[in-house]
Amino acid sequence: MEECKVGERIQNGRKWDTKKIVVLAMLSAIATTLDVLFRIPIVPAVGFIGYEPKDVILTIGGFMYGPMAGAAMAVVSSFAYMFIAGQNALWGAIMNIVSSCAFVCTAAVIYKKWRTMTGAAVGLIFAVITATAVMLLWNYTLTPHIMGVSRERVVQLLIPGFLPFNLVKGALNAALTMILYRPVRAALDKSRLLPVVQTSTKKSSKLTVGVVLVSAFVLVTCILFILSLRDII
């Protein structure tokens, strides 16, 4: 009898792993499709970059499975877009990963600690601020190499171009996430693709991993910014 129960627990664990992989793969595919099909210029000063709602899907996944899952989907969808669109090659993929992770992981870390709609809203507000600040620094550092222009030209575009673009992009992503998260989660619950949420002592350790992930992004961003100020890169 005990062996049977152990077998059932192992089987249920495998089934949960499979479901999680299926959901994450599905969300990554949707995010990649949106990235390819919907790119809308929203700020004339930086018309060469456009808004796409990919981060909405990634944030929904991050809310359901945590910041590490959100980061993994960001990496997968960004490299998938790179191979499909072939634009800016590796540099473009790196910038997409940084932008998505700065937004998704920040929101997911806060929501993991504060699992209410208020917590989601606070997480998304901080996500907009974090992603905007991170992308200003990364654009200052890497855009001259990606676009083949002088850093002085990029500096001229930071306030009238990159700043409003990232603020508007973040605000749109935050609003759409708040609207779509509950319906998407309810649909996945109905299809039995999500497990029942259980409290666990492991929650704090997972939260710590998320905090470390966000902190690592901030640290790398600061290092790159300092190196660019010293004209090392």
pLDDT band at 47 (very low <50, low <70, confident <90, very high): confident
The pLDDT assigned to 100 comes to 94
Q: How far apart are CA 104 and CA 108, in angstroms?
A: 6
Q: Mean pLDDT across the chain, nearest whole number?
A: 79
Domain locations in the chain as residue ranges: 2-229
Q: What digits encode the pLDDT tens for the residues 71-91?
A: 999 999 988 888 887 655 777
Q: Which of 86-90, 152-156, 173-177, 217-221 has the highest mean pLDDT?
A: 173-177
For domain 2-229, the question of CATH label 1.10.1760.20 is answered with yes
pLDDT digits (tens, 9 = 90+) for 206-229: 445 555 565 566 566 656 655 655
